Structure 1
Amino acid sequence: MRVGRKQEKLLIQCITENQERAYRLAYSYVRNKEDALDIVQDAIHKAFMYIESLKNTSSLKSWFFRIVVTTSLDFIRKQKKIQLMDEETLEIVLPSSQDRYADLDLAKSLDELPEKYRILIILRFFEDMKIEEIAEVLDEKLSTVKTRLYQGLQKLRLNMSEEG
C-alpha cells in the first residue's frame, strides 16, 4: 500500500509540473481547446488507474506523456470519420472559405506537415524535449525519431520556401 501512495504523490507532482505541456501536446493532435482538455483529463484518469503498473518511477514523466499521446490518438480515431465528413461538407458548401493568399506563418506550414513529422517538431522545438524523451513518449526507436525529425524539418523548410 505504501508504494502505491508514493507513486500517486509522484504522479500528482508530475501532472502539476507538466499540466500545460500535456495540454499543448494533446492540442497539437486535436487542435481544439475543449477536446485537448478532455484528453488530458482522460489521460490523468488512466494514469491514476494504472500507476501501480509503472515499474520505474524515474520514467514517470515519459510514461504520462505516452498516455497523453495514446489518448489523443484514440480520440482522433474515434472522431476521424466525423471530422473528415465535416471538412468535405464545408468544402462543398463554402468553396471560397479558404484564403487565396498563402499565409507565410510558421504555424500554417507546420499544420500542413503530416502528423508524424509535425508532432516531432512540436515536441522537440516547442516543448523542448530531448530526442531520447521523444522516442520514449512516442514509443519509437531513437533512430526513427532522428530520421523523421530531419525529414520533417526538410519538409517544413520546403513548405515555407514554396509559400515565400
Structure 2
Amino acid sequence: MDKQIKLVKKAMRGNEKAFEKLVENESEKLYKTAFLYMRNQEDALDVLQETIYKAYISIEQIKQPEFFTTWLTKILIRISYDFLRKKKKVILEESFLSTQLTEQSYDIEGKLDLLHAISKLNNNHQTVIILFYYHDMPIRCIGETLNMPENTVKTNLRRAKIDLRRLLGGMEYEQTGHQ
C-alpha cells in the first residue's frame, strides 16, 4: 500500500507514468465492475475510458492518497449510473459473457442468471453487492465509498441478498419478518 501512496502523490504532481501505473494496477477490477453494470464489452470499455479520463483530469483533487482506489471506484460507479440513465435500457449480451467466462468448473448458465438478477436490483443494492462480492470490500470501505453509514450498508446488503434469492427462485421467500 505504501508503494501505491507514493504513486498517487507522484501522479498528483503531474507524473503521467505514475498515473498510468496506478490505472494499470486497478484496470482489471475496474473493467469487471463496469461490465457488471453495463452488461456488454463495448459499453464497459466506454465507461472505463471515461473513468480514467475523469480521474486523470482531477487527480490533484484527491484529499487522501491512501483512498485512491475508493476514489476511483466512486468515479466509475457515478459514470456507470450516468451512462445507464442515458441509455435507459441495459442489454445482456449472453454471447460475449459465455466467451468471457471460462468453462472450467463454472456454471455459465448460473452465472448468467446471477448477473441478470444483479441487474434487476435497485441501484443501492446492486452497488453494495458488486463492491462486497466482486471487489471484496469490507462493509466499512463500502460505507466510505458510498458516503453511507455502515448499518445502512449492512441493511442494503441483507436486502439485496433476499432480493437475489427471490429473483433466482432459491429458498422459499417468506414475507413474515422481512420487508
Structure 1 Cα separation of the partners of residues 116 and 85 of structure 2: 23
Look up the equivalent residue of 2:34 and give its one-letter code. Answer: A
Q: Residue 77 of structure 1 aligns with which residue?
A: 85
* TM-score (norm: length of structure 2): 0.68
Structure 2 Cα separation of the partners of residues 13 and 136 of structure 1: 24
% identity of equivalent residues:
33
| Aligned residues of 2:30 and 2:73 also touching (Cα < 8 A) | yes
| Aligned residues of 2:34 and 2:80 also touching (Cα < 8 A) | yes
Bigger drift between 121-130 and 55-64 goes to: 121-130
| Aligned residues of 2:34 and 2:48 also touching (Cα < 8 A) | yes
Look up the equivalent residue of 1:12 and give its one-letter code. Answer: E
Matched, 1:54 2:62: yes
| Aligned residues of 2:33 and 2:134 also touching (Cα < 8 A) | no
Look up the equivalent residue of 2:14 and give its one-letter code. Answer: R
The structure where helix makes up a greater share of residues is 1
Report the CA distance between 1:113 and its aligned residue: 2.8
Structure 2 Cα separation of the partners of residues 63 and 122 of structure 1: 16
2:136 is paired with a residue whose SS is coil
Bigger drift between 38-47 and 107-116 goes to: 107-116
Q: Which structure would you say has the larger RCO, counting Cα contacts within 8 Å and 6 or more residues apart?
A: 1
Report the CA distance between 1:110 and its aligned residue: 3.2
| Aligned residues of 1:121 and 1:152 also touching (Cα < 8 A) | yes
The alignment's C-alpha RMSD in Å is 2.6
Bigger drift between 46-55 and 119-128 goes to: 119-128
* TM-score (norm: length of structure 1): 0.73
- Residues 107 and 70 of structure 1: CA distance in aligned 2, closer, same or farther (over 3 Å): closer
